[in-house]
Amino acid sequence: MSDFDFDLFVIGGGSGGVRAARVAASEHGVKVGLAEEDRYGGTCVIRGCVPKKLMVFASGYSGMADEAQAYGWDIKPGTFDWHSFRKRLHGELDRLEAVYRKLLSGSGVETFDARAKIKDAHTVELSNGEVKTAKHILVATGGRPVRPDLPNADLGIVSDDIFHLEKLPKSILIIGGGYIACEFACILQGLGVEVTQYYRGAQILRGFDDEARGLVAESMRESGIDIHCGTNIVEMALEVDRGNADALSNSDAAMGATVNQAGELNRHNAAAREGSQGPIWVKSTNGNEKVFDTVLFATGRTPMTDDMGLEDVGVSLGRGNEIEVNEYSQTGVPSIYAIGDVTNRVNLTPVAIREGMAFVETVFAGNPTAVDHDLIPSAVFTQPEMGTVGLTEEQARDAGPVEIYATSFRPMQTAFAEQNQRVMMKLIVCEDTRVVLGCHIVAPNAGELIQMVGIAVKARLTKEQFDVTCAVHPTMSEELVTMRTPTRTA
């Protein structure tokens, strides 16, 4: 009989933690407990990938009427009903959470709707007062969005809040230039919101291929998104606060009104903290001042390691508060492991799931399995989408010599409708080995395309193997196997 309550205790009910828990229980007969303080499904299912992609789908219909008319359909543009969509959205999230709970219970995992802290190498304490022991502990608490260190930053919202808005704002300022900022800029613009975006860097989507992100930025601007690079927010306040402050400072009768106005300011501030929409006055680094209904901070995420007792038991945290682990997801405390965004390795749901599977294989199947973080395909769900796998052109130059095969064109569907949207297909090829080192696609459904190309790049196929593959015509993606002459070398 075991000296512990559980063989494995998982902290976190997101995709990685749930997969590890149920596979360990159902396939290896492990007694598993799992604690989740919020909703089951984690960031991806509840406040990330899934609701965001459903919003991408919703926003994509905005231009359909115009395009359909070019093809002979008598379709008139309509209006978007946020309340109707949001009701269906939350119904779907409820359904998915129920699926996750059912998967766990069906696998024999005992669940606890509570926050868990680590007391020692084999003990967790739950917020409901229970204490549980386990031979192994797996931390899979994920990450959360952060606000900048700025006065009145609490007036803005973060990505988690988007799905709970009572109504869509008429105007929004998005702070940030990463994939989350750009995706929501495209989504909200497609839903009819006037979108302005500030990013302190020289170009949005830093870290992605320069040519690809340049085309995405161009397309976003053409759609009506007002992007300001080299720009950041320096000051923000409720517009009513500024108006009342001016009245208090400029009016001879200010003294008599102070108490009533101060009470009104407090009520407005409380409403803002409860998620009420602006108007919010913003001053930027370029000197511009403007009022927006809502400000969205998409300025980064941080691992959820606060107040978990990790360092007290000897688990090391990195400079970004991430849990430091080895190639087998093991911390410096042998019985404690960590997977997913809380380790800040590659913050993608499929990666967290693979890390969870590798953990189970290592610990419960006796087969030490390191997670392969090389050549992971990914997509940015802007409009158009961007799909990427392998090296960017800029990274490849350092590994050179390389050949670049690239083409940009108007695809048949949009060209016929006399629309300006362009797509891009790009291959990075090692000049010596002929291996395709990277692929970058900017196009509708680029996420679907890059999944298939990711297989070829992961298999280290050569450019000549791409070349002997017969094209599917007429498609956008046929360009990937018909480009014969390098655009440039590096």
Known binding site for NAD(+): residues?
176-183, 300
Q: For residue 233, give every residue at least 6 positions away whose Cβ sits within 8 Å of its Cβ, in sequence order, or none.
A: 148, 150, 173, 175, 198, 282, 283, 284, 285, 295
**DSSP class of 472:** P
Angle ∠(58,448,198) on CA atoms, nearest 5: 55
Neighbours of 442 (CB within 10 A): 29
The three-class DSSP label of residue 462 is strand
Beta-sheet strands, E only, within 266-308: 280-284, 289-292, 294-297, 301-303
Instruction: Verify whether residue 473 is a known catalytic residue.
Output: yes
Helix or strand run (H / E) with residue 289: strand 289-292
Q: Is 306 exposed, middle or buried (0-12, 13-18, 19+ CB in 10 A)?
A: exposed
Contact between 198 and 174 under an 8 Å Cβ cutoff? The reply is yes
Residues of each annotated binding site: 53, 176-183, 300, 341
User: How far apart are alpha carbons 264 and 252 in whole angstroms?
Assistant: 19
Tell me whether the omega of the peptide bond preceding residue 401 falls within 30 degrees of 0, making it cis.
yes
- CA distance readout (Å), 350 to 19, 140, 283, 357, 454: 11, 14, 39, 11, 14
Q: What is the dihedral of CA 469, 471, 476, 480, to 10 degrees?
A: 20
Which residue in 83, 164, 440, 473 is the catalytic one? 473
The one-letter amino acid code at 234 reads V
- CA distance readout (Å), 97 to 102, 163, 166: 9, 16, 22
**Nearest C-alpha neighbor of 377 from the set 448, 483, 471:** 448
Cα Rg of the chain, angstroms: 25
Helix axes 49-60, 179-190, angle to 10 degrees: 40
Listing from the earlier edge strand, what are the strands of the sheet with 280-284? 233-238, 280-284, 289-292
Residue with tokens 């009572």: 166
What does the chain come to in residues? Answer: 490
Residues of each annotated binding site for FAD: 53, 341
Helix or strand run (H / E) with residue 349: helix 349-364
For 395, the token pair is: 């990274």
**DSSP class of 431:** T
Contact between 425 and 441 under an 8 Å Cβ cutoff? The reply is yes
What are the residue numbers of the active site? 473
